[in-house]
Structure 1
Amino acid sequence: MNHIVTVQDAVIAFDPDIEPTDAELDAIVREEPLILAEQELLDVQIALLDRPVTRLGQRRLRRAANKVLAARAEVANRTSAVRAGEAA
């Protein structure tokens, strides 16, 4: 006869009160400019969804996309510099 048991230990093993580590918080801080740039791009895209695209709208979209690219490059360069510093 097979007994039905709960998976209580597996559920309790994950503690929802666990705080992020310092390394995880540092990674979030490093990526914050990228997150904000992506949010701005998304805001512009949402604003342009239900309107005909004007020259101003195209400019806003292009500027937001360029800001995302610049932030991605900055984060990538900063990450590679951190890794190079750790290796030294």
Structure 2
Amino acid sequence: MEATGKKDSPLPRGDGIRLRVEVYDALAEKKGLTSVTAQARQHGIGRTHMSLIKAGKKGVSLPLALRMANDLETTVEALFGRVTA
């Protein structure tokens, strides 16, 4: 992805790194984070931002990916994976 100066930009067409929603949801549920609002609050982002990440419509910055992994006591590699269109 080309650097744009934006922290969290829309995902490029084609290949990209996306949240593994099934993995995320299972780990979040273990922490009692069952709503998008609770998940967003835990990671310090807005509900809409969290919804867009989970829908695969928005990427995340490295600091946010690290925070999400840390909050769920896992690794970035476990939460995010490469996908192809």
* Structure with more relative contact order (C-alpha pairs < 8 Å, separation 6 or more): 2
In terms of fraction of residues, the more strand-rich structure is 2
TM norm structure 2:
0.25
TM norm structure 1:
0.24
Structure possessing the higher radius of gyration over alpha carbons: 1
In terms of fraction of residues, the more helix-rich structure is 1
